[in-house]
Chains A and B, each alone.
Chain A
Amino acid sequence: MSYDVAAVRRDFPILSRVVHGKPLVYLDNAATSQKPRQVIDALVKYYTEYNANIHRGVYLLSQEATEVYEQAREKVAKFINSPGFESIIFTRNTTEAINLVAYAWGRGNISAGDEIVLSGMEHHSNMVPWQLLAKERGATLRFVEVLDDGTLNIEQLYSLINGRTKLVAMTQMSNVLGTITPVEEIVRAAHDQGALCLIDGAQSAAHLPVDVQQLGCDFFAFSAHKMLGPTGVGVLYGRRELLEEMPPFLGGGDMIMSVSLREATWNDLPYKFEAGTPNIADVIAFGEAVDYLARLGMKNVRQHEKELTAYALAALGELGPDIRIFGPRHAEQKGGVISFEYGGIHPHDLGTALDYEGVAIRAGHHCAQPLMERLGVPATARASFYLYNTKEEVDVLVSALKKARAYFGDAVRTA
């Protein structure tokens, strides 16, 4: 069955919006995705029919809410092929999931002289938690460099990982360049030296089929809102043996087995890591988002986006010498994320001009300042696609860029 993008689009109410008199062309999916009706309906249904706190009420509403909340966990576990629901911890977002590891695992396992290997294309959320940890513990951070073509220097990875390396933390897909990294190889390289491996899946989980057992990673972090779900929900997958040994991250209600005045014992996995009332409604709606993606099939989503990315790379390339595209130029090597510079126009001016044509793109450093420095630019414009975007929308992007170019003329290239 071929991928029916028109049918998909009908599920997203926001896609019929008009902005500045033009149909919305939403190309900021790497920041957050739009939500299908099914996800929005799930939120409304929870609040109108069975809103109650979970894991404690003896009444029907609470039982219903608990059941649907835990079903969402099962769906997520299946979606990334986790061996069990115990390995799926709900957090607020990817950032909190990574911080959970940095605190609960990092504080017990990283000491002076230890090394953590990252890459130069990490999002700040997979960089700053490790900087904090390294500073506190006297550990050292090492970075795999980004090559001119936007891929990682994997040969260098092997020379950076050694007996002192305790953790390798890397993205599976760059939020700036779209680069897909060879995660299985990275995991093997880490394990060969006895180090653990955390994968930042904030971009990849939304766009690629992910199988954590096949990847072999120890931790995998991602966010619901980038994959059709609501904001305020993230997921940490962790290998069960590791999670069992880790102390809690936050203390409070629901994460305990029993509490006396001076001490407490911890609840079972995954509840040990979910202190306090969680984001019940949004987790439930995230379950719908996962169902939606599973129905479409992540292979089909990837295929659609790959075709769209190839089309966009070609169309943007036709803008001539005025356009500079950062990162891999082949759709096989990357997700649907294209960072570029055009006509010497500052990305913010470009973003504003495109907005008036209905086109929403991102302009800025994309929470990856070290990568911006590597690229030698203060900021880039970024178009990023998702399963509902079309070739026609890419055409609108290109024509809006041409209009912006005509509007700003030969703006000074400030140095």
Chain B
Amino acid sequence: MPLEQLDELYREIILDHYKSPRNRAVPAEANVKAEGKNPLCGDEITLEVRVEDGVVRDVGLQGKGCSISLSSGSMMTEAIKGKPLAEATALLAGFKELMRGHEPGVELGDLEALGGVRKFPVRVKCALLAWTTLEQGLKGHNKVG
């Protein structure tokens, strides 16, 4: 039954994050805020982060989107929370590599589950939305900081 082939894209962990997204609360005293939009699908997300002493102390992600964009965002918040900025940036670079079909070069953990998205070129943008939003936010932060 072809719908079962969908499992390649929608791995269990992806659907789990989609149905119960993590880190939806706005962090107290957030000092990084960025908004991401994917005009093609109408997805809109807001990412807020509290960075202290070069460490991602807290992160919150709200918005609407498809399962791929929301689960990718949810997994991202889990992956970067508590990490030094340098590690978060390395994850960001590694995840982008994964989406390009390259070796990520870092341990991506659960995020590897999104590797199947590569076969669906139009959905790569969905998977990247939260990450490019993070990138935008951190750029602004680094300038200010």
Contact = CB atoms under 8 A, between A and B. Distances in A.
Residue from the set A379, A407, A408 with the largest chain B CB neighbour count within 10 Å:
A379
Interface string B1-29: 01101100110000100111100000000
18 contacts: A347-B66, A348-B66, A348-B122, A348-B126, A349-B68, A357-B2, A365-B39, A365-B42, A369-B39, A372-B42, A378-B42, A379-B42, A404-B3, A407-B3, A409-B19, A410-B19, A412-B20, A412-B21
Interface string A355-380: 01110000111000100100001110
Interface string B68-85: 101000000000000000
A412 B123 CA distance: 19
Nearest to A400: B3
Nearest to A404: B3
Contacts of A242: none
B3 A356 contact: yes
Contacts of A407: 3, 6, 10
A22 interface: yes
Contact of B123 (A352, A353, A372): A352
Contacts of A349: 10, 66-68
B120 A352 contact: yes
B133 to A, nearest CB: 16
A22 B6 contact: no
Contacts of A412: 18-21
B144 interface: no
B19 A411 contact: yes
Nearest to B7: A407
A364 B66 CA distance: 11
Residue of B3, B64, B65, B70 with most chain A CB atoms under a 10 A cut-off? B3
A21 interface: yes
Given A20-B2, A403-B3, A364 B42 contact: yes
Given A378-B43, A408-B15, A415 B64 contact: yes
Contacts, number: 74
Nearest to B21: A412
Contacts of A364: 40-42
Interface in A325-361: 346-349, 352-353, 356-358
Interface string A54-69: 0000000000000000
A414 interface: yes
Contacts of A411: 18-19, 67
Interface string A165-188: 000000000000000000000000
Contacts of B63: 414
Contacts of A21: 2
B44 interface: yes
Nearest to A409: B19
B41 A378 contact: yes
Contacts of A369: 39
Contacts of B15: 408-409
A377 B64 CA distance: 10
Contacts of B44: 378
Contacts of B123: 348, 352
Contact of A352 (B9, B20, B64, B65): B9
Given A365-B42, A408-B67, A412-B18, 11 more contacts: A20-B2, A347-B66, A348-B123, A357-B3, A365-B39, A372-B42, A378-B41, A378-B44, A404-B3, A411-B18, A414-B65
Given A411-B18, A414-B64, A348 B41 contact: yes
A44 B54 CA distance: 64
A414 B10 CA distance: 18
A141 B30 CA distance: 41
A410 B20 CA distance: 11
Which 6 A-B residue pairings sit nearest by Cβ, starting from the closest?
A: A378-B42, A346-B66, A379-B42, A348-B66, A356-B2, A414-B64
A349 B44 CA distance: 16
A408 B70 CA distance: 14
B3 A346 contact: no
A346 B41 contact: yes
Interface centre among B9, B63, B64 (most CB of A within 10 A): B64
A354 to B, nearest CB: 10
Given A346-B67, A414-B64, A356 B6 contact: yes
Nearest to B19: A412
B69 to A, nearest CB: 8
Nearest to A373: B42
Contacts of B68: 348-349
A414 B70 contact: yes
Contacts of B10: 349, 407
A363 B41 contact: yes
A20 B43 contact: no
Contacts of A408: 15, 67
A23 to B, nearest CB: 12
Nearest to A354: B3
A403 B5 CA distance: 13
